[in-house]
Amino acid sequence: MLAQLLIGISFSMASYQDVKDRAVHDIVWIPALLGALYVIYSEFSTPGPDLELQLFKLGLIGGIALLFVYFGAVGQADGIALAFVAADPYRYSPVLPLAAAAVVALAHIGYEIVVGNAPGPRTITIERFLREQKWIPRAILKDGSRVEVDSDVNVARDEVEAKQQPGTLVEVKYGVPTVAYLGVGYVAYLVYLVAFNQATLFSLA
């Protein structure tokens, strides 16, 4: 239970930052890291099939997250959040939090489609782009020319900020708060355990 509490604290802080600023400070992951280390320590203290399963979950989900970040498909914080979902000691932990996160994501993305933020690209001023963190840049538009930016979401915004000039337009797409989806999904999973499966919750690390 201690591990879930620590991971849940990190996800709560990270979700707030992701919704507010679309940026998550590394320091918020410290409780989750302590929780993950505690899980591994607990499993090594009593070696068995649960240890093998935990290492497999961390290796598989963590490896997938690392590849996503490496190829620029998701932000670094998104990859970290995905890996920490797998750190939970419950045998079926990746499935339940990710399912809850998917429900939240579909609901939010549906709302953004209704209000016109998604899907597809749109063009905004450089001033608005710098003011609002929710946009992922695709190209810089200036004096009739279009210059595409890096497809890696981890460097694209920095590239636009380095080339900013008055009168510049930016072609963008809406950037969803993936960390917030995962965070809300994880908290919903904890609520499920508290409400319907307390025996399992209190038996975990």
pLDDT, tens digit (0-9, with 9 covering 90-100), for 2-56: 889 999 999 999 999 999 988 899 999 999 999 999 988 887 777 666 778 888 8
Q: How confident is the model at residue 101 (pLDDT cuts 50, 70, 90)?
A: very high
Structure tokens at 129: 């782009």
> Taking the C-alpha atoms of 194, 99, 157 and 13 in order, what is their torsion angle to the nearest 10 degrees?
0
Question: Residue 179 and residue 142: Cα distance in Å, rounded?
Answer: 33
Backbone dihedral angles phi then psi of residue 148, each to the nearest 5 degrees? -70, 145
Using DSSP, state whether 136 is helix, strand or coil: strand
The predicted model gives 165-170 an average pLDDT of 88
The dihedral through the CA atoms of 130, 134, 136, 142 has a sign that is negative
Distances (CA, A) of 143 to 168, 187, 189: 8, 48, 51
Task: Decide: 164 and 126 in contact? Cβ < 8 Å.
Answer: yes
Q: How confident is the model at residue 205 (pLDDT cuts 50, 70, 90)?
A: low
Question: Residue 94 and residue 102: Cα distance in Å, rounded?
Answer: 12
**Does residue 181 surpass a pLDDT of 90?**
yes
Structure tokens at 19: 């919704």
Task: Decide: 98 and 61 in contact? Cβ < 8 Å.
Answer: no
pLDDT of res. 47: 62
